[in-house]
Amino acid sequence: MKENKTIGEILRENRAKKGLLLRHVSAKLDIDTAILSKIERSERKATKEQILKLAEIFDLDKDDLLVLYLSEKILYEIKDEELGQKALKVAEQKMKYISKNKSGN
Amino acid sequence: MKENKTIGEILRENRAKKGLLLRHVSAKLDIDTAILSKIERSERKATKEQILKLAEIFDLDKDDLLVLYLSEKILYEIKDEELGQKALKVAEQKMKYISKNKSGN
DNA sequence: ATATATTTGACGTTAATTGTCAAGTGTAAT
DNA sequence: ATTACACTTGACAATTAACGTCAAATATAT
């Protein structure tokens, strides 16, 4: 039973839970409501900074939200690629290799 | 015993193996030698089209090279992120979920 | 020293991202 | 049915990043 909501869906749910309007939240982000609307409907991507602010606004765990955000960014890169799955696995391998060989490890 | 060459290193090795100069290969790609030089030293990313041409030029398996290319693109997205590993895993989960729910599956 | 191959960095151009704005749609209450 | 409000949509502008050229600098070999 895996959850599989988009970050946009999560943002919208949390905004509703707090009883906030697009207007309120977008003001805090200092952007037009139009953009926030699009972010919530996955029509646009948020910036990292916006994600961090949103985590604050909704009292969500920043790391959790960031992980979700980054995973969507990754998927965006390979969404139209046949070889996406394989590329992901190779990326993981490389990542492990890199962190193994980090100084101070 | 994992190989861990960059795509740039692979390209340079293969160019050497064929005894070709930057000039020769870059001409086929229709770009300046400067760019190819940078690609080989991982200072620039190639485009997908360039990767496909390079696979042809060096008689390499296109899928293999593309997977490598995509994996580097993915890593590029998260290279400075603490949460990169986690994001990759989540991306893989999502990816599986997506392909499960594809039509004609 | 010349010649050739590669590298470097300053600089355009193009394309993608991020945003605004104004008009449009949906919904609920008067 | 018109007013009011929340949200959505699409055309457009501004900013940033990607992609390229070019000419000068550096290396390497003859």
Rounded Cα distance, B71 and B65, in Å: 10
Size of interface A-B (CB pairs under 8 A): 104
Answer yes or no: do B74 and A74 touch at CB < 8 A.
Answer: yes
Write down the pLDDT at residue B99.
78
Rounded Cα distance, A43 and A37, in Å: 8
- Cα torsion at B46, B49, B54, B56 (round to 10°)? 170
For range B79-105, the mean pLDDT: 86
Q: Which residues of chain A have pLDDT under 50?
A: none
- Cα torsion at A96, A97, A98, A100 (round to 10°)? 80
Which nucleotide is the nearest neighbour of A46, by CA and C1'? C18
Confidence of residue B103 (pLDDT cuts 50, 70, 90): low
Tell me: pLDDT of B105 over 60. Answer: no
Q: Going from the N-terminus, what domains does chain B have, and what CATH number goes with each?
A: 7-100 (1.10.260.40)
More confident call, B4 vs B49? B49
For range B96-102, the mean pLDDT: 79
Write down the pLDDT at residue B91.
96
pLDDT per residue as tens digits for the range B17-33: 999 999 999 999 999 99
pLDDT per residue as tens digits for the range B45-74: 999 999 999 999 999 999 999 999 999 999
Residue in the structure block whose two tokens are 């910036």: A47
In contact, A68 and A7? CB cutoff 8 Å: yes
More confident call, A9 vs B99? A9
Instruction: Report A:32-91 residues touching B (Cβ under 8 A).
Output: 63, 66-68, 70-75, 77-78, 81, 83-91
Tell me: pLDDT of B78 over 90. Answer: yes
How far is the alpha carbon of A25 from chain B, nearest alpha carbon, in Å? 26
- Give the H/E segment covering residue B65: helix B62-78
Closest by CA position to A90, among listed B66, B98, B77, B61:
B66
How far is the alpha carbon of B69 from chain A, nearest alpha carbon, in Å? 8
Q: How far does the CA of B8 sit from the C1' of C18, in Å?
A: 32
Cα–Cα distances (Å) from A13 to A5, A6, A37, A87, A105, in that order, read: 10, 11, 13, 32, 40
Rounded Cα distance, B82 and A5, in Å: 23
